[in-house]
Structure 1
Amino acid sequence: MANEQGINVAVVGATGAVGEQILATLEAKDFPISKIKLLSSKRSAGKEMTFKGETVTIEEAVPEAFENVQLALFSAGGGVSKQLAPEAVKRGALVVDNTSAYRMDPEVPLVVPEVNEEDIKKHQGIIANPNCSTIQMVVALEPVRKKLGLNKVIVSTYQAVSGAGLDAVEEMQQQSRDILDGKEVTPKVLPVSGDERHFQIAYNAVPQIDKFEENGYTFEEMKMINETKKIMHDERLQVAATCVRLPVETGHSESVYIETDQPAESVAAMKQLIAEGDGITLQDDPSNQVYPLAVDSVGLPDVFVGRIRQDLDTENGYHLWVVSDNLVKGAAYNSVQIAERALAYGLLK
């Protein structure tokens, strides 16, 4: 855990699914840490976790906890980030925030390193980590955008329950057991915790992730639309999204239709272009049933792309299937990547 050449790091929301994955990623990457603080709610304070083989006691996330912290990785919900991220910045920390609190703030960079790494340099104390479903899509599309241009994106998502938190995962598991045992199912969490109505997720597909906006889109769908434009610095880009929750524990899948400014020379050329993109693993051999599967993405940082084909009616239209672990590249891994780049740029002191 000690590293005399390292920096002081705080992980806010350390006991959550993303927080645990952030710790695993920091450890796997051997991120240079001198001292680590694990911060959580008052309820979790005093409990212990292990990092790099050493026991670390969880502290309550309060403003004073950020004294002498150089990097603060937040994943404890938007309310906590709104309250405590400015306190961390005030005390000299660079905040990488994995909530929706600051994503569309024009003063806050929204970063996927494979796409817009340079935006890290524009930070004023906070860098936002995009939505999980947005991250994997823009990584897959970036090599296409750079080479052929991009003018339209239509995405339908098939999102894992872990994106809604541990309570949602436990609900899905319990519902599955109850259904197999012939018991009645009483949903309490999904699609939106705290709402008046809830629906069964086991053996079901729910076309609602987050609350509905006045325009008929859900907040999740609007996040994908707005974040994609911000990350790619392209307000003219046409983006539409339909987000669906499936009874899959981990790994988001997306059916993505794009229209490019100019067509690729061939489908093979499009596959090669995407395969050469940063952070992408191509799995595309239909004759041998090779394509990305959510179950195969678990625990891996890659964005997997397959089922690449040209639209039958539109010369510059293409269809892709994009899969990634929503807790790894979709959250923790991207956050740590941002921190690594910030360190390389000399922004962590």
Structure 2
Amino acid sequence: MSGGGSLSGPDSRVETISRLAQWRIDTFGPCSYRRSDPFKLGIWNWYLSVEKSRSVYVRLFPEPGRLAKEQPPFARFLLRVSWAGPPRRSSVSPVIEQLLRSSDDFVWQVDAMSHGRFTIDVEFLDLRIATNNGTESSSSIWPNEGMVQKVASKSTLGSLSRMLTESIHADVTINTTDGVLKAHKSVLAACSPVFESMFLHDLKEKESSTIDISDMTVESCSALLGFVYGTIDQEQFWKHRVSLLGAANKYGIAEVKACCEESLLEDICSANVLERLHVAWLYQLEKLKKGCLAYLFVFGKIYDVRDEIDGFFHHADRELMLEMFQEVLSVWKPI
């Protein structure tokens, strides 16, 4: 397939958020081939191209160069082409798993076509670095596995790990919903002003050396202690990050709260965006809230959650609903 015309144009910019890339094309014009500007997702720069003949052909490929050659991406993704309408119409690809080295490795044929403005979405479900024989590697480049380790100081891992796991000189008992844990007043006080206040003043926690955490299980509280003591692993963090966020907000542990917000912002999708928006509002997470609102309205994914939105509005705070309405007004432009 080949065609004449310009490779790119004034609307060749691709916007990205989380794992979603979106290319809006106001008009195809007289040319039959368009290529986007490069956009960054994962460790690679990417291009989208679209070619028009009897059908529309969409290609996704990494920027040619040393990185794509030595560390080619093995991607799991899906694409959607949407026409503004009215009526609004879209065509969605199946989930694709593909080794991508060049523009010849992947092409998707879209049979439907309409004149005027249209949008191409690419949602990356996973990205891995392919091995030398062309198969996917065992570990995803997501989540960012270095993030938690940077927050939890490596210099204290050895001694703090032993203190926690072996209860060395542990002097406080934590009662959870389904079990008991041992910890250290000094460590808890150092990380949390709330815990520090408990042990400074004549409160029951100081007298009994006991803390009741009735809204966490042993497993989720162990994850909280693991973060505080610097021993948490990535899988444990991901499993309990919403519980960690609630505890961090309750006990004033800023580092945990910031890390959870960044992590929840990293993998927004249609299946979780409304829940994430509620969490962002509940714990006053401005970056996560803006990310969710942008995903829904700037990137047009509100259409993907229309079956769930009524239930969300029944329980949403009125001020949050007002912000959502204001977001609609700010991005709405008459065709």
Classify the TM-score, shorter chain.
under 0.3
Q: TM-score, normalised by structure 2?
A: 0.24
Q: TM-score, normalised by structure 1?
A: 0.24
Relative contact order (C-alpha < 8 Å, sep 6+): which is higher?
1
Higher helix share: 2
Q: Which has the larger radius of gyration?
A: 2
